[in-house]
Amino acid sequence: MKLTNMTIQRASARGLKSLLILGGVLAMSAALASCGPKADAKAAKDKADAEAVTVFAVNTTTATRGQIRDYLSLSGDIVAGSTVDAYSDVAGKVTRLYVSIGDRVEKGAPLADVDPSRPGMSYIPGVAKAPIAGTIVVLPAQLGMTISQSVPVARLSRTDALELRTYVAERFVSKVRAGQKAEVLLDAYPGDVFSATVREVSPVLDPASRTLELRLDLDKADARVKAGMFAKLKVITEDKPSIVKIPSGAVVRRFGDNYVFAVEADEANPGSYVVRRRSVVPGILVDDKLEVLEGLSAGDEIVVRGQTLLEDGSRVNVVDRVAPLPVSD
């Protein structure tokens, strides 16, 4: 059979097309073959990342069994336990002074002579005497001045029996009572702590300031303490000697629940740690120290920093162990 040129051209075209298709299939196969290992490796890495456990860095401390004291922080003044004005029995001119400010006198000691004489009439001078034993703190009488029976000659204070006077706001009235102890600080002696006891609680409030007056006795006489000094004091309103306490910052509050994260050994991974969520019942809070009524025992290790992202069972790495709260408050 004789083939025409057209027949030969068609056959050549069909052969070329088949070759092109075959080449494309081979190229695609090669490409897929080359991508296969990379895809498998990426899938394996993604699976490993998904199975990896996040470990949180935390700081911890241990719960302490010890003392916690609640108090009221107040300020007041050191005053003499009793202050009395001395008067003359007669009106007249002061002709002699027996004392000066700061002098200590006994009861009945002479303070000043007052001459009641008038022009043309002479009288025996009267003597103003000390009504109590004490120290002269004010001396209004001066030589040559004329005074009446209503003008004090001198003011005496019993500086051997100093007391501290302070005032409590109305909202704290229910917390104070006679017999409570107080720690007193004086600006004149920084670092020294003086002790006092509440002796008297006023039965009424001042209607203008809505405060209640307290009077405290210094427990020990100290020559350094002077009447008129300004004092800062802490009145101890509650003293709990043996309770479990932790830093208040360790407590997490979510949805009305209070809890902490306790650190435990991870049994599945020796040498690792996990945390367990423990609900706690808080008590009084004093200076960032929190009483724990239920949920913890002394010696339990808890997270104090880094707990906001934790959940029950989270793995942790303890990077620092903070010293626990002191036993004594």
pLDDT of residue 1: 42
Number of H helices, E strands in the chain: 1, 22
Cβ–Cβ under 8 Å, residues 218 and 42: no
Judge: domain 55-67+242-321, CATH 3.40.640.10.
Answer: no
pLDDT of residue 51: 47
Q: How many CA atoms lie within 13 Å of 73's alpha carbon, on the beta-carbon side? A: 2
- In the chain, what are the helix, strand and coil shares in percent, each to the nearest 5? 15, 50, 35
Look up tokens 């003597």; give the residue.
127
- Going 34 to 37 to 42 to 43, the CA torsion angle's sign is positive
CATH of range 71-79+160-240; options 3.40.605.10, 2.40.30.170, 2.40.30.110, 3.90.380.10: 2.40.30.170
Break the chain into its structural domains and give their ranges: 1-42, 55-67+242-321, 71-79+160-240, 84-157
Cβ–Cβ under 8 Å, residues 322 and 104: no
Judge: domain 84-157, CATH 3.30.70.1520.
Answer: no
d(CA 250, CA 230): 38
pLDDT of residue 323: 94
pLDDT of residue 39: 55
Look up tokens 């019942």; give the residue.
281
Q: Is 233 exposed, middle or buried (0-12, 13-18, 19+ CB in 10 A)?
A: buried
pLDDT tens, the chain, 329 aa long: 444 454 445 545 555 455 555 555 555 555 545 555 555 655 555 544 444 678 999 999 999 999 999 999 999 999 887 789 999 999 999 999 999 998 989 999 999 999 999 888 889 999 999 998 888 989 999 999 999 999 999 999 886 678 999 999 999 999 999 999 999 999 999 989 999 999 999 999 999 999 999 999 998 888 889 888 999 999 999 999 999 999 999 999 988 899 999 999 988 888 899 999 999 999 999 999 999 999 999 999 999 999 988 999 999 999 999 999 999 87
pLDDT of residue 190: 92
d(CA 108, CA 128): 9
Amino acid at 92: G
The contacts of residue 132 (CB under 8 Å, 6+ apart) are: 82, 84, 107, 156, 158
Q: Model pTM?
A: 0.65
C-alpha closest to that of 141 among 93, 185, 202? 93
Domains 55-67+242-321 and 71-79+160-240 share a fold: no
Q: Which DSSP category does 121 fall into?
A: B
Amino acid at 131: P
